[in-house]
Amino acid sequence: MKKIFQIALVAFVFLGLAIVSAFITMKAVTWSRTVAVPDVRDMNLPVAINLIRNAGLNIKVEREEHHPTVPQNYIIGQNPAPGERVKSGRDVMVVVSLGSQAVTVPQVTGEVFRLAQVTLRQAGLNLGELARVNSPSPVETVILQSPPQGAVAQKDSAVDMLVSDGARGIRYVTPDLRGMTLPQAGDAVRPMGGKVLFYGKGAVIASQQPKAGFRLPANGQIIVALGAPQPVKTPAPKAGKAPAPPQKPAAGNQSSGAAGRKAGGATQGF
């Protein structure tokens, strides 16, 4: 019985070794039937065909599409990836470039910015750098573009625009309207396109808002309050200083004395 068990154990070991050997042999045979996929990206199609066929594989064009940098009839991409091991005779799918797609830049100068964007999209172009400046052109009008109208550009490339923000606002210094009548105030603010709004009753302007000297935009409004004319105040003489006495004529000169008496009489008359 023991001998039979030993014979069975030996047979089982030999069977295991045979299975492992067969597996290794099968793997070796299978490995010998695989090839590494060559890298044909950025190659001309005829060259790529020869390279793939020499590797024991077939080549098929999956699709053709435009590309901004890869020249026409060159390979853009491939599947399986370069270096991958596949069975001999397998197909390698490639994408072939149709080259760049050139478009003519349309005119957007003079258009409203929103319409200019639509024009660019319809032409296959994108908006590039955008800048805004004050100019006499209406607000949101395109005043400059780059590349210019008629230039040849690649599809999906960008066009830069300079857009108007309108004329820069002009500001005026608010005049002092106090003491003026309403017609006089209207004449004073008319050159700046301003408007005078008033309240209250009176013959002249007593106060104003904004005050004199404020920088007011063109067509701005000045609100004034009407009132009575204010009396003019005469400044009082400063304390400690007496009025200077009249000069006396020089002695021994009768003509000068007569002139002095005449001048002195005129001064005293005020």
CA distances from 245 to 127, 241, 248, 253, 264 (A): 87, 12, 9, 20, 10
Query: Which pair of structure tokens corresponds to residue 93?
Result: 């799918």
Please tell me the distance from the alpha carbon of residue 195 to that of residue 187, in angstroms, as a whole number. 10
Q: How far apart are CA 74 and CA 22, in angstroms?
A: 45
User: Which residues are within 8 A (CB) of 111 and not within 5 positions of it... i.e. 6 or more apart?
Assistant: 119, 141, 142
Comparing C-alpha atoms, which of 145, 155, 73 is closest to residue 110?
A: 145
The answer to whether the bond into 80 is cis (omega within 30° of 0) is yes
Q: Mean pLDDT of residues grouped by 10 in the chain (270 residues)?
A: 63 64 55 84 93 93 89 94 92 92 93 95 94 90 95 92 85 91 92 88 93 86 89 61 55 37 29
* pLDDT for the residue numbered 112: 95
Tokens coding 248: 């006396």
pLDDT of residue 159: 96
pLDDT at 69: 85
**Rounded CA separation 38/85 (Å):** 10
Spatial distance between the Cα atoms of 97 and 32, rounded to a whole number of angstroms: 34
> Nearest 5°: CA angle at 148, between 143 and 151?
165
Phi, psi dihedrals of residue 245, rounded to the nearest 5°: -70, 155
* Claim: this prediction has a pTM higher than 0.75: no
